[in-house]
Structure 1
Amino acid sequence: MRILQATTLFLTLCAVAVTGQETYFGKNKVRYKNFEWNYIQTRHFDIYFYEDAYPTAKFGAAVLETSYVEVSNELNYVIQRRIPVFIYNSPNDFQQTNIIPNLINEAIGGFTEAFKNRVVVPVDGSYENLRHVLHHELTHAVIYDMLFGGAIGAISLQRRIFDLPGWFAEGYAEWSSRFGWDYFSDMYLRDATINNYLEPPEQIEGYIAYRQGQAMIDYLVDRYGIEKLGELLQKGKVHLTMARAMKAALNTTEEEFYKGFAKEMKRRYWPEIARRKEPDDFATQLTKARKDGSFFNEQPVFSPEGDKLAIFTDRRDYTEIVLLSAIDGRELARLVKGERSGDLESLHSYVSGMSFSPDGRSIVFVAKSKGQDALFLFDVNKREIYRRKKFDYRSIVSPSWSPDGKAIAFSALDGYKRDLFVWSIDRDSVRQLTDDRYDDGSPSWVKGSERIVFSSDRPHPGRPAMNSFGHPESDSGFVKPGDFDYGDYNIFEIDLTTLAVTPLEVGPGANRSPSVSPDGKRVAFISNRNGIDNIYVARLDTVEYQAVTDILTGVQAISWSPDGQKMAFQAFHNGCFDVYVMKDLVPAGNGGVLEPTDFAAGKYKQADRPGPRPVAARDTARVDTAAVRAVSDTTAPAQEKASTDTSAVRADVDTTRVAAKDTTAAQTPGESGIVGNDYVYVSKRKHDALDSLMRDVADTAGGALRKEPASFDSIPPATSSGEYTVHKYKVKFTPDFVGGGFSYNTFFGLSGQSFLVFSDYLGNQQIIVGFDLVNTIDQSNVQAYYLNSTKRTNYGVGLFHSKNYYVDNFGYLFSDRFYGFEGFISHPFTTFSRIELVGAEYFIDRRYYDIALGDTRRPRDTRVTVGTLSWVHDNVLWGYTGPINGERAKLSVSSGIDLFNTRNLTFSSVEFDYRKYWHIKGAFSAALRFSGGLSGGRTPKWYFLGGTTNWIGSRDLDSTVYDVENLYFSEVVTPLRGVPYYGLAGDRYGLINAEFRFPMVRLLALGFPLPLVLGNVMGVVFTDVGATWFGNNFKGVATEPNGTQHFKDIHTGFGTGMRLNVLGFALLRYDIAWSTDFNKVSDRPTHYFSLGADF
């Protein structure tokens, strides 16, 4: 996944700056553990790992070097800089990375950061998933190197940047990493085409960019040739937009390209409507995705009584477990509310199911709790969690309660592999059932509680490794990197007494998600053998299996009813997942055999389509064959390790590995290829004077020669036994962003502005420097900060200096020299709550310049020590213009004192802010806010109310605003619309805001006077009630001589407004408000134009 770091890192500084005028919330990225990093080096990559993950790093080395040859060949390009790759041992660890500041949700399987071109991926227990995501992210890294020279920071001073669309970047990444087209994307495009949600290129965003983008890349390669991929990128560097690049490279327009693509999709998929069935043709639909606000209804499981189903759903935005009627889908109860607190940070509904106890009183599910996965036992009747069990595993999925109720089986990531375990509930002991490198999951008990059926990608004895459609992997000629077969899933059974594993004969294809029938005689599972994920049922005592669905899209997560007569499942339809119950378990298709899709039958494959080939057969880019051999050459004799200053380690030998794969290629010195243990490149060109600096690499597509840096040759290969030297990670600061400029003239002297950001490779430490140089240092603005997030408690220190000139409301000129140093400490308890401590010493030197014009004020020097302690809570979800669901709160206590002169400035204050949001339906929502504060001391803090945040317009400020105490230590509280900006002041305040937010304009296309398209324009109706006062002098209601009552210190405004997202990076707000004291309403409204999100 491509992620560009935000260059607006000053937000971090604003959070601790005394001049900040916004109350800051935000969720937390919690470092629940510390990581001690090491790394190994291959020819093109630095691969970072920690703890016992050296075998994973070796596997990654093989995958990356092999995949790099694929990508280099497809794009006709060789990288010019080494690519750093960071491998985290689990998704939970991965979500703690500081390489990017963004919070990482479960849907993100990896990312490539553009500033330093870093690839970051987690291990989830599946080597096939790891292979795929490494290859996927590598494509982004190669493209970044191609377009930006390896790091986007290098283009900070450039004005011309290719706007690479997401559909190409993500689509090509999927196309390359899945070796062209695959059955899963075939399912998605079939659904998108039939249900008419394909998007034109300029409107593609979100997840569809991956799937439709892959299809568009596949179409592009079929129609125009694979060489056009790299050519489009090269043209894009010149023409800056994909539309112009397409015209230059393909001689077509984006509109024509999409028209041809959409026509091809219709030709492919419309005939499938008559061949297969939609899920509601043969099953009862229990959930209504989109209509009820949900998109994901997942992992259904029957209750032991058979009349209820438990499912995961996001119908209320957050993932929850709800209880449904198995008859009509009515919601009977909300059982578990996830993603709101640290105890239930995530319910893992994407990857893990749940299970009822045999008596139906309890449910077991997995949740991430304070950074670590745990099993939760939930009492269905009491609606409460009564037991939480944590294990020392990196992740847990797929809990399954035994028929006798005494144990729970589950799959867990232990070290760098995923195995099966059984937890004895009464004895509170754990037994490990499998212990190997294969991905073992989806355990399902057989009646009697003595056997478990599960899915695994371990080899099936007597049968070669199979691809997704049941054909031997060797048919494609592609050799997967690694010294063992992986990624080809099948169904197995394990005996809990002997731990003997027996393969079940259930037919070809990728067979997953087994569910044993209540009588223990049959097993249902999901297989893609016809090109679509369908439900099959096999007998456990005979070799007999048949399909019971012939669905148009795909099935996931199946569950038997207690009587064995029905089956619940989730199915993909119209871009969402819904839950269905099927009653008639009869053979589908032709006696349980299904007609293959055109893709599964090979009808889409073009004769000249580049398919996966052995890596050694390619010579267009130099591959580190030692890296590939490090995990694939198991027959090489052991040799002594190279002697180095650092240690070399060797992975434990896996006794289940298969014979080494043949990676030989050209064997004569007259051509390039692998000779013995080395890759030999034989150049066809004469000597070049630059050969000492660059390495030639053949370019067969273009007939030219590209060059790899000679520095790549300085990296020693792996030893003959396939081992690498392991290096310790050392902190080294390198630039993330550098920008600015300088000028000089004889009158003003030297001037310039610069902004620099440095960080280490892990993103744990940052140095931020910004300065605005004007003639001399004492006239310049300078900020320098150091931020450290290495451990759970984050901290930062910094210093600053600024010189500002002001003209007050009397027209007098004065200046403030504002400088000092500050520090902060932030300790997150969970993703949703933290405490913050900010301390600073501020110096303010004020000088007045209009003495001759009557300004009699004397110079003033102020020294103030300020400290603030805050508690912050935030679990909101965001909509188009602001939070749409959840709540956030902040409570702060602060104090300031001049330690040099206690009679100068002294204050203390307490402030609170609570906000609650309700998502009504679709884009409709409501928001309510309560906030208040009070201050005391010799010079109490003032609170200014009125207007709206980031108001665009003139300000008529009172002279008191320019007092040192108010200019630097006051709080401006908004919104209070209907009242002028800074219109109210006091050392106490209270504010209530209520808003109803709704969609105003879905889509508006203008042809004149400007061709402008506006979408998702939001509207708002609001009421603001606020008051300020000094001390105890508050009078809420006043009575006129005629007896009429009205608000006095309480001010109220009401009105309406609209919100427009401008070009995707700025939110423009317009509000029109009237003020009222509940006796009369203002004659004229106040108009507000402002920028920023809603509160």
Structure 2
Amino acid sequence: DPDEFAKRLTDPDGDESFYNTSPAISPQGNKIAFITNRDFFFSLYIMDANTGEIITKLAEGNQSPNFEELNILTPGLTWSPDGSKIAIAALSHGYDIIYIFDVEEDDYYTLPIKMDGVQSVTWSRDGKQLAFIGQNSRQTDIYTYDFNTKEIKNLTDDIFTDKDPNWSHDGKTIYFSSDRNGYENIEDVPAGFKIYNYDFSQLEIYALDVETKSIKRITDLPASNETSPIVSPDGSQILFISDLNGINNIYKKNLVFASTDNYVNDIKDIKPIPVTNSQSGLYQLSASEDGKKLAFSSLYKSSFNIFLLNNPFESELDVNELPLTKYRQGKLNLDAPPLELLKEENESSKDSTDFNPSKFFAGNDSTKKYGDSITVDFGNYVFGTEQVAVSNEEKSDTLGLIDNLDERGNFKINKYKINFAPDLVYANAGYSTLYGLIGTTVISFSDVLGNHRLIGVTGLQIDLKNSDYGLAYYYLAKRIHWGIEGYHTARFVRLLRLDPRGFFTSNLFRYRNFGVSGSASFPLNRFYRFDFGISVLNVTGENLDNILEPTENVTFTVPQVSFVHDNVLWGYTAPIQGTRYRFDVFGNLGATDPGKSFYSIIGDLRTYLRFFYDHSLALRLSGGYSGGENPQRFFIGGTENWINRTFATTEVPIQSASDFAFLTAVLPLRGYNYSERIGTRYLLANMELRFPLIRYLLTGGIPLLFNNIIGVAFIDAGTTWYDNSKIKLFSRNTAGSIITDDLLVGTGVGARVYFLYFLLRFDVAWAYNIEGFSSPKFYFSLGADF
């Protein structure tokens, strides 16, 4: 294990991380910059190279457009020669760019480099240049950036893949890893060279003369991959990683230089010497300027950790080569031509010209183990796949493409055809606070590229008039995602109506909503986007218990614009870190009925502060305003998907077809009933503490397992109103004491647990009016929290 020959600097048990990689040791050897997920997201940290103690955090990835990704699969971290700055490649606004961090000032700036991919940034010893791997749509090459001239040079400019550049001690040579396999210069590549007919899976170490761009091969180990070259301070040795024995270990070679130009000779025939013999693979070497310290990453006890090895150029093992693992031995055998192996095994029994792959034995039938007089039935035996003869009929039955090459041997180019195939088919059940149990079946189709998507939704009941169904098509090939939907919904609800005798009676209403809508989603980056849409919907309301009451029929044309930000990290039942907000502007134009026109402006801001690993404080502020001839109404009180619901209005507060289409519940506000307040304007604030209540619980009697039961403690406050001049947040009671009036405040505690198919929520809450608390109100509900 790596901790037997190197010092482990990271502690997954202590910092609760499992991914610590991309170590870059400072030239002075006293600090190490690295990427870790100890904050759940991948972040850039600096630690003490001797003790492993964290010094500072420079950047946090996956949270903002500037650091959408820290490129953990192709990392590149490097220090300036004086140890004051760090360069790193990161994804920003859809492109990889290079950031320069000032370690002392805790600030950064970017270089004028914008490519599809930037990897493996490395600083020259004189501090004047950066070398890095740049990728465009065609190829991957080694580039340099000059800080003085701001010039970017492509040093390789060929079809082969280059990786892990590292400067020599004098800055004249860049050592790197590549799959070019002997094509050291672009002139060596023959005309008509096809990369898809070439084995590009094997990497070797090469040396590149920065001035002349000539390339020399350093290693030639066809059965292994060599990566991450590091040159000694005096330029006499090179360290690199190789899986020569089947496991990534550190090897070294002596470098030989030409006397004429002091450029490294072709030393591919010199055998490398192993420096380590680790059972866990080693990755991403980084050495101090004096070569006394070497940092690397390795998988140790199910986590990637950072290790420090002292005096790597002086370290040697007692053996000159490492024993091959069984995996490597098997791979070497598999890599050999099967026919040649069979020839070697059977050369004493048959001449190679008479070899028949369907016949393996010469002489007597060896399956007759017990003699010729006894027959063994092998009908129920299971045989291995080695040396199995394949008939011509079986060989012709393949999934290979037929006639897919042209007369020159090139692959034919065929026009892409859209063929939809099912992605998923599932049925779900839910509970609506207004309409009760709801069930739907969803079927989703897409093409091979995922550019086109069809989604069908059905919830059939008796006939089409009483059922839910819809069909949507989305075009996802470009940056803007386009969509068009058609739908029909039917809901049944009992409402109180005044009968001819002057009594309120419960009547069954059926509301139907059918229409079409178009949408467009324009992402500014991974975390921000604009959504646009327009809907044309027709809503009808029918009193099924009183056919004399006329059917209400209203058509709405509703354009909408939304601005959305979201970078939250979800916990087990709800978000626990990050920020999300949404601002919507929409309304009915009143094209068919000006008396039904309205406009609404709604904002919802939520932020989550994580602490103690998986504890979180959730804060939310939401508000809305609606105006026009027929403004949208909002009601507050209760919680989402409340099963044992009660209404302050004794019924669902739907008064018209407009309410059915646009009445909005602003939740949660626990401690109160549904529709405790109704208005055309609202404000709502929530604060909720989320924490693990029970990690693991196994009940007796009936053995039921409950794990990750999440506890919550909350305060909700909000109000709705119609007229700004009439709102009264506080008032005085008969005793003259100040109490809340239109302002509703509730507080309580609860628990969340997954049980069977559903996320169950239980809350107990009390309304608070300054004067005191109400009696407790209990909430059983379904779904995730805000």
* Superposition TM-score tier, normalisation by shorter sequence: 0.7 to 0.9
Name 1:493's counterpart in structure 2.
207
Q: Does 1:917 align with 2:608?
A: yes
Structure 1's 758 and 350: CA in aligned 2 closer, same or farther, altered over 3 A?
Answer: closer
Name 2:759's counterpart in structure 1.
1067
Name 1:890's counterpart in structure 2.
582
Residue of structure 1 aligned with 2:506, choices 811, 821, 825: 811
Alignment of 1:473-512 (within 5 A): 483-504=197-218, 509-512=224-227
1:488 corresponds to which letter in structure 2?
Answer: Q
Name 2:171's counterpart in structure 1.
449
Map Cα deviations across residues 178-226 of structure 1 (whole Å, 9 max, x no partner): xxxxxxxxxxxxxxxxxxxxxxxxxxxxxxxxxxxxxxxxxxxxxxxxx
Residue of structure 2 aligned with 1:859, choices 551, 555, 564: 551
Is the partner of 1:960 in helix, strand or coil?
coil
Separation in structure 2 between the aligned mates of residue 1082 and residue 779 of structure 1, nearest angstrom: 42
Structure 1's 840 and 670: CA in aligned 2 closer, same or farther, altered over 3 A?
Answer: same
Residue of structure 2 aligned with 1:580, choices 307, 312, 333: 307
Residue 910 of structure 1 deviates from its aligned partner by 1.4
Alignment of 1:159-308 (within 5 A): 277-279=1-3, 281-308=4-31
Name 1:1081's counterpart in structure 2.
773
Q: Does 1:329 align with 2:52?
A: yes
Q: Contact between 1:341 and 1:830, CA under 8 Å: does it hold in 2?
A: no
Could you tell me the TM-score, scaled by structure 1's length? 0.59
Structure 1's 521 and 817: CA in aligned 2 closer, same or farther, altered over 3 A?
Answer: same
Residue 824 of structure 1 deviates from its aligned partner by 1.5
Map Cα deviations across residues 705-761 of structure 1 (whole Å, 9 max, x no partner): 997998969832435653222112133445556789xxxxxxxxxxx9976544433
Q: Does 1:960 align with 2:653?
A: yes
1:1087 corresponds to which letter in structure 2?
Answer: F
- More displaced stretch, 993-1002 vs 375-384: 375-384
Name 1:527's counterpart in structure 2.
242
Q: Does 1:932 align with 2:623?
A: yes
Residue 514 of structure 1 deviates from its aligned partner by 1.1
Q: Contact between 2:552 and 2:657, CA under 8 Å: does it hold in 1?
A: no
Name 2:522's counterpart in structure 1.
827
Name 2:565's counterpart in structure 1.
873
Residue 953 of structure 1 deviates from its aligned partner by 3.0
Q: Contact between 1:304 and 1:356, CA under 8 Å: does it hold in 2?
A: yes
Residue 302 of structure 1 deviates from its aligned partner by 2.4
Map Cα deviations across residues 335-375 of structure 1 (whole Å, 9 max, x no partner): 22222222321110232121122233432211112222222
Name 1:420's counterpart in structure 2.
142
Residue 385 of structure 1 deviates from its aligned partner by 3.0
Name 1:558's counterpart in structure 2.
285
The answer to which structure has the higher helix fraction is: 1
Alignment of 1:309-320 (within 5 A): 309-320=32-43
Matched pairs, number: 706
Name 2:264's counterpart in structure 1.
none
Residue 576 of structure 1 deviates from its aligned partner by 1.5
Residue 992 of structure 1 deviates from its aligned partner by 1.7
Residue 1035 of structure 1 deviates from its aligned partner by 2.1
Q: Contact between 2:512 and 2:539, CA under 8 Å: does it hold in 1?
A: yes
Name 1:1049's counterpart in structure 2.
742
Residue 288 of structure 1 deviates from its aligned partner by 2.5
Is the partner of 1:344 in helix, strand or coil?
coil
Residue of structure 2 aligned with 1:844, choices 508, 523, 539: 539
Is the partner of 2:111 in helix, strand or coil?
strand
Name the structure, 1 or 2, with higher relative contact order (CA <8 Å, separation 6+).
Answer: 1
Separation in structure 1 between the aligned mates of residue 651 and residue 90 of structure 2, nearest angstrom: 55
Separation in structure 1 between the aligned mates of residue 723 and residue 620 of structure 2, nearest angstrom: 24
Name 1:215's counterpart in structure 2.
none
Separation in structure 2 between the aligned mates of residue 886 and residue 1045 of structure 1, nearest angstrom: 37
Separation in structure 2 between the aligned mates of residue 448 and residue 586 of structure 1, nearest angstrom: 18
Separation in structure 2 between the aligned mates of residue 733 and residue 598 of structure 1, nearest angstrom: 46
Structure 1's 779 and 616: CA in aligned 2 closer, same or farther, altered over 3 A?
Answer: farther
Q: Does 1:539 align with 2:266?
A: no
Q: Does 1:1058 align with 2:751?
A: yes
Residue 296 of structure 1 deviates from its aligned partner by 1.8
Structure 1's 1000 and 565: CA in aligned 2 closer, same or farther, altered over 3 A?
Answer: same
Structure 1's 530 and 611: CA in aligned 2 closer, same or farther, altered over 3 A?
Answer: closer
Name 2:482's counterpart in structure 1.
795
Residue 862 of structure 1 deviates from its aligned partner by 1.7
Structure 1's 777 and 1081: CA in aligned 2 closer, same or farther, altered over 3 A?
Answer: closer
Name 1:1014's counterpart in structure 2.
706
Separation in structure 2 between the aligned mates of residue 713 and residue 439 of structure 1, nearest angstrom: 28
Separation in structure 2 between the aligned mates of residue 324 and residue 790 of structure 1, nearest angstrom: 43
Residue of structure 2 aligned with 1:366, choices 76, 89, 95: 89
Structure 1's 457 and 770: CA in aligned 2 closer, same or farther, altered over 3 A?
Answer: closer
User: Quick one: percent identity of the two aligned structures?
Assistant: 32
Separation in structure 1 between the aligned mates of residue 333 and residue 319 of structure 2, nearest angstrom: 34
Q: Which runs of 5+ in 1 are unaligned?
A: 1-276, 463-480, 619-665, 674-697, 741-751
Separation in structure 2 between the aligned mates of residue 711 and residue 352 of structure 1, nearest angstrom: 41
Separation in structure 2 between the aligned mates of residue 406 and residue 1070 of structure 1, nearest angstrom: 63
Is the partner of 2:66 in helix, strand or coil?
helix
Separation in structure 1 between the aligned mates of residue 764 and residue 212 of structure 2, nearest angstrom: 76
Separation in structure 2 between the aligned mates of residue 291 and residue 559 of structure 1, nearest angstrom: 24
Q: Which runs of 5+ in 2 are unaligned?
A: 185-194, 258-269, 342-351, 360-384, 428-438, 497-504
Is the partner of 1:389 in helix, strand or coil?
coil
Residue of structure 2 aligned with 1:1038, choices 716, 728, 731: 731
Separation in structure 2 between the aligned mates of residue 1025 and residue 522 of structure 1, nearest angstrom: 69
Residue of structure 2 aligned with 1:763, choices 447, 450, 453: 450
Residue of structure 1 aligned with 2:694, choices 995, 1001, 1010: 1001
Separation in structure 2 between the aligned mates of residue 774 and residue 996 of structure 1, nearest angstrom: 42
Residue 874 of structure 1 deviates from its aligned partner by 0.4
Is the partner of 1:390 in helix, strand or coil?
coil
Q: Contact between 2:172 and 2:211, CA under 8 Å: does it hold in 1?
A: yes
Separation in structure 2 between the aligned mates of residue 1054 and residue 794 of structure 1, nearest angstrom: 42
Q: Contact between 1:873 and 1:888, CA under 8 Å: does it hold in 2?
A: yes
1:834 corresponds to which letter in structure 2?
Answer: R
Residue of structure 1 aligned with 2:676, choices 960, 966, 983: 983
Q: Contact between 1:547 and 1:587, CA under 8 Å: does it hold in 2?
A: no
User: Max radius of gyration: which structure?
Assistant: 2
Structure 1's 667 and 754: CA in aligned 2 closer, same or farther, altered over 3 A?
Answer: farther
2:611 corresponds to which letter in structure 1?
Answer: I
Map Cα deviations across residues 103-144 of structure 1 (whole Å, 9 max, x no partner): xxxxxxxxxxxxxxxxxxxxxxxxxxxxxxxxxxxxxxxxxx
1:835 corresponds to which letter in structure 2?
Answer: F
Separation in structure 2 between the aligned mates of residue 704 and residue 541 of structure 1, nearest angstrom: 55
Structure 1's 1069 and 333: CA in aligned 2 closer, same or farther, altered over 3 A?
Answer: same
Map Cα deviations across residues 589-646 of structure 1 (whole Å, 9 max, x no partner): 74365753764685xx79xx9956758999xxxxxxxxxxxxxxxxxxxxxxxxxxxx
1:582 corresponds to which letter in structure 2?
Answer: L
Residue 995 of structure 1 deviates from its aligned partner by 1.9
Name 1:1029's counterpart in structure 2.
721
Could you tell me the TM-score, scaled by structure 2's length? 0.80
Separation in structure 2 between the aligned mates of residue 434 and residue 343 of structure 1, nearest angstrom: 29
Structure 1's 1022 and 773: CA in aligned 2 closer, same or farther, altered over 3 A?
Answer: closer
